[in-house]
Amino acid sequence: MRARLQNSVWGVVAWIAGIIFVFPVIWMVLTSFKQEADAATNPPSWFFAPTLAQYGQVFDRNITPFLLNSLMASVFSTILVVLLATPAAYALSLRPVAKWSDSLFFFITTKMMPAVAAFLPVYLLVKHLGMLDNVWTMVILYTSMNLPLAVWMMRSFLLEVPREVLEAGEVDGASLITSIRKIILPIVSPGLAATALICFIFAWNEFFLAVNLTATNASTSPIFLVGFISSEGAFLARLCAAATIVSLPVLIAGWVAQNKLVRGLSMGAVK
Amino acid sequence: MPRKLAMATAAAAAGVLLVTAGCSGAGSTGGGSGDSADNTITALMVGNPQMEDIQKLTADNFTKQTGITVKFTILPENELRDKVTQDVANQGGQYDVATVGAYEVPIWAKNGWLHEVSTQAQADSAYDVNDLIKPMVSSLSGEDGKMYAAPFYGESSFLMYNKELFEAKGITMPEKPTWAQVAEYAAKLDDKSKGISGICLRGLPGWGELFAPLTTVVNTYGGTWFDKDWNAQVNSPEFKAATDFYVNLLKQHGQPGAPQSGFTECLNTFGQGKAAMWYDATSAAGTLEDPNASKVAGKVGYAYAPVNKTEYSGWLWTWAWAMPKTTKKADAAWKFISWATSKDYEKLVGEKLGWSRVPSGKRTSTYSIPEYKESAKAFADVTLGSIEHADPTNPGVQPRPALGVQFVGIPEFADLGTKVSQEVSAAIAGSNTVDKALADGQKQAEDVAKKYK
């Protein structure tokens, strides 16, 4: 009886915490169905005649190229990151190279400098290479932006692979490829999914590099979003509609990876 | 089960890849900056309603007539400013046309960043350059007297008031009120119990936010940022009297959250019927009269900007189309600019999208189009009068060293105005005093002035 009561109390707490976190998102979605005049009321209105007018206006501005650019930049950079980070993490954990801790530290130092500090050389380089306003520039930059983080994450996941299992495999004559396929990958696949998802989200949401390096052809969806902020006229409801559309792909990616994710994200934590 | 999920994930990923591979062929991955061979120009603009309209109308009209495709990018004002600066300074050449505000045009012209447009405008008789309202032309001209951008739409500032609230109290708003009258009305109409403020004014820090209306108050109180010889005048009695008046009015009868209110917040407050008066841009009228975006449509009265020592006090602002020097397609760019700022374009907007959405405030002829006059009858005359009487060369009671009504046309002003506005905004919030704000402002203004003396 007592245990049950305790359980339901925790349940209520969890629900409240969940609602607090989701509330801004619900608010955004609700506002996106309002007219501009209703969106600005104070105190806010809960009851209103829903309209799709704002979504119509968002599509009037032709959101598709921006979404496609974001998708390309995020998907390709995530694939590259995973392909590069996993072997690197392997060499820093299961088969550590000489001075592996120095390398690991070097990786993370690249995240310590603010992006804006390194930006001018990057801009000039990109400009002289004739790569301004090009999606592939964003793919490369997002890959390098996420790589250190992915190496660190993958390393902690790989450390979870029990030595004994690996050694047992070797005793049974498993080659490196077989060990990777039959032992390592199944164990770290939740971690792999978590890493990929986080890289995808970071690339999808990135604004600073995108706003400075793209112009008309390669602009990503965050650039599309801020275009609704205007110094003249009301824009809250339309901005919310655009933001709702832009957050959908991330939501879908998260939903697809959900099962793996819960395990993956808590993997390092329960060591 | 995990295997099934993995398969599904892989299938989804493959699908995504196919889609993206398909689109990469469709030209979404441009190689380098712009396609110089074909007939495409790139335009960078702010996301104001008039710019959205031109984006909708270009393909079916401009492109059909000329064969020139226009690719638009929309960014907020600050990002746009950074981008154009970056692009021109580094010779990036990513944009052929851009919307530039009245503050930057003369400065950028002086830096050699913009292409002059006077030659092309005068050569084109159909363009009728003499129809452009004079203060607009002078605010977009460089020191050589040439125009460096063509006005897309213009605005001044005026006083908007809620007619229902005024009638309920039996108050009649004069056509040209004084600030003393406005303060008196604000006191009478302030009704905290109903959540209605006497007046709404900008208090948000920023040279283009708080200091746009406040500088016009300073002007009409006889103050100025700098005198003709670049002596800073920020702590002068006139500047102080104006700032004291503005801050006290806002503290006593202003809207809640005044230190965080900019144009957008005031538009919402007044548009929701929560303020009796609002002194701001004439361009607000279009949104206020739109029943979908405002609850006071049809109930708003318009009067000239309140004055004290001067006859008029409205500011002058325009969004104008300019060509960065780095464009390689000046001819196509001018074709677009001249179309966007022509009489025909105004007619097109009126007929296709509605007359209230015409980009007005730049051509005298706009105000004699019957359909436009009808749709904007509540505010058209006051708007035109305010623009025509705004004088960017001499907006106050003394000669000025640089162009600008609600700003000083030097590159340092954005920073100076913003810094001083932060302290004035703090005074509105009650955590600072006007005296201290202006004493600090005087020092900063003196530093700026050193460069010009």
Q: What does the pLDDT look like over A11-33, one tens digit per residue? A: 999 999 999 999 999 999 999 99
Whether A193 is covered by a domain: the verdict is yes
Stretch A193-213: mean pLDDT, rounded?
A: 93
Whether A15 is covered by a domain: the verdict is no
Are B31 and A134 a contacting pair at CB < 8 A?
yes
Biggest distance spanned by C-alpha atoms of chain A: 72
What is the spatial distance between Cα B434 and Cα B432, in angstroms, rounded to a whole number? Answer: 7
What is the spatial distance between Cα B62 and Cα B68, in angstroms, rounded to a whole number? Answer: 7
- Tell me what pLDDT residue B16 has: 43
Whether A2 is covered by a domain: the verdict is no
- Tell me what pLDDT residue B9 has: 46
Are A219 and B73 a contacting pair at CB < 8 A?
yes
What is the spatial distance between Cα A225 and Cα A202, in angstroms, rounded to a whole number? Answer: 16
Residues of B in contact with A232 (CB under 8 A): 48-49, 263, 281, 283-284, 287
Residues of A in contact with B83 (CB under 8 A): 211-212, 215
- The two three-digit tokens of residue B32, written as one number: 């380098």
- The two three-digit tokens of residue B438, written as one number: 């202006």
Are A232 and B208 a contacting pair at CB < 8 A?
no
Q: Could you tell me the pLDDT band of residue A206, with boundaries at 50, 70 and 90?
A: very high
Q: Map tokens 């393909």 to a residue.
A: B59
Helix (H, G, I), strand (E, B) or coil at A178: helix
Which residues of chain A form beta strands (DSSP E)? none
Are A232 and B20 a contacting pair at CB < 8 A?
no
Q: Across the strands, what pairs with B97?
A: B43
Q: List the single residue in A with minimal CA-CA distance to B8.
A: A256
- Tell me what pLDDT residue B71 has: 92
Whether A78 is covered by a domain: the verdict is yes
What percent of chain A is predicted at pLDDT more than 90? Answer: 48
Which residue numbers in chain B have pLDDT < 50?
1-37
What is the spatial distance between Cα A250 and Cα B441, in angstroms, rounded to a whole number? Answer: 47
- Tell me what pLDDT residue A67 has: 95
Whether A166 is covered by a domain: the verdict is yes
CB of B357 within 8 A of CB of B286? yes
- Tell me what pLDDT residue B14 has: 43
- Tell me what pLDDT residue A266 has: 62
- Taking the Cβ of residue B258 and every Cβ of chain A, the question of whether any pair is shorter than 8 Å is answered with no
Q: Across the strands, what pairs with B150?
A: B321
Is residue A265 over pLDDT 80?
no
User: Could you report how far apart the first and last alpha carbons of chain B are, in Å?
Assistant: 79
Whether A42 is covered by a domain: the verdict is no
Whether A137 is covered by a domain: the verdict is yes
Residues of A in contact with B73 (CB under 8 A): 215-216, 219, 223, 227
Q: Are strands B40-45 and B69-74 parallel, antiparallel or unpaired?
A: parallel
- Taking the Cβ of residue B270 and every Cβ of chain A, the question of whether any pair is shorter than 8 Å is answered with no
Q: How many CB atoms lie within 10 A of CB A208?
A: 12
- Tell me what pLDDT residue B6 has: 46
Are A134 and B47 a contacting pair at CB < 8 A?
no
Q: List the single residue in A with minimal CA-CA distance to B273.
A: A41
What are the CA-CA distances from residue B80 to residues B47, B368, B410 (Å)? Answer: 10, 34, 19
CATH code where residue A175 lies: 1.10.3720.10
Q: How many domains does chain A have?
A: 1
DSSP for A22-55?
Answer: HHHHHHHHHHHTS-HHHHT-SSPPS-----SHHH
pTM recorded for the entire structure: 0.80
- Tell me what pLDDT residue A169 has: 87
- Tell me what pLDDT residue B7 has: 45
Q: Across the strands, what pairs with B191?
A: B196
Which of A223, A230, A256 faces B46 most closely, judged by CB atoms? A230
Which of A37, A69, A229 faces B294 most closely, judged by CB atoms? A37
Amino acid A17 reads A
Are B23 and A68 a contacting pair at CB < 8 A?
yes
Interhelix angle A185-205/A135-158, nearest 10 degrees:
140
Whether A27 is covered by a domain: the verdict is no
H or E element at residue B2: helix B2-24
- Tell me what pLDDT residue B31 has: 37
Are A211 and B83 a contacting pair at CB < 8 A?
yes
Which of A40, A41, A228 faces B47 most closely, judged by CB atoms? A228
Q: How far is A256 from chain B (nearest CA, A)?
A: 7
What is the spatial distance between Cα B365 and Cα B352, in angstroms, rounded to a whole number? Answer: 19
Interhelix angle A53-60/A236-256, nearest 10 degrees:
80
H or E element at residue B319: strand B317-322
Write down how long chain A is: 271
DSSP for B85-151?
Answer: HHHHHTT----SEEEEETTHHHHHHHTT-B---HHHHHH-GGG-GGGB-HHHHHHTB-TTS-B-SEE
CB of B322 within 8 A of CB of B114? yes
Q: Map tokens 């495409």 to a residue.
A: B40
Query: Which of B384, B394, B441, B101 lies closest to B220, judged by CA?
Result: B394
Are A226 and B292 a contacting pair at CB < 8 A?
no
Write out pLDDT tens, residues A223-252: 999 999 887 767 889 999 999 999 999 888
What are the CA-CA distances from residue B198 to residues A42, B260, B270, B298, B303 (Å)? Answer: 17, 17, 11, 20, 16
**What percent helix, strand, coil does chain A show, rounded to 5?**
75, 0, 25
CB of B260 within 8 A of CB of B254? no
Q: How far is B295 from chain A (nearest CA, A)?
A: 7
DSSP for B385-436?
Answer: HHHHH--SS--SSS--SSS-SSS-SSTTHHHHHHHHHHHHHHHHHTSS-HHH
Q: Which domains does chain B have, with CATH numbers?
A: 40-148+317-375 (3.40.190.10), 157-315+402-450 (3.40.190.10)
Sheet containing strand B69-74, edge to edge, reads: B69-74, B40-45, B97-101, B317-322, B150-155
Q: How many CB pairs under 8 A join A and B?
A: 157
Residues of B in contact with A61 (CB under 8 A): 52, 55, 74
The residue range of the domain holding A83 is: 62-270
Q: How many helices (H) and strands (E) does chain A have?
A: 14, 0
Q: How far is A112 from chain B (nearest CA, A)?
A: 25
What are the CA-CA distances from residue B186 to residues A55, A204, B277 (Å)? Answer: 39, 49, 7
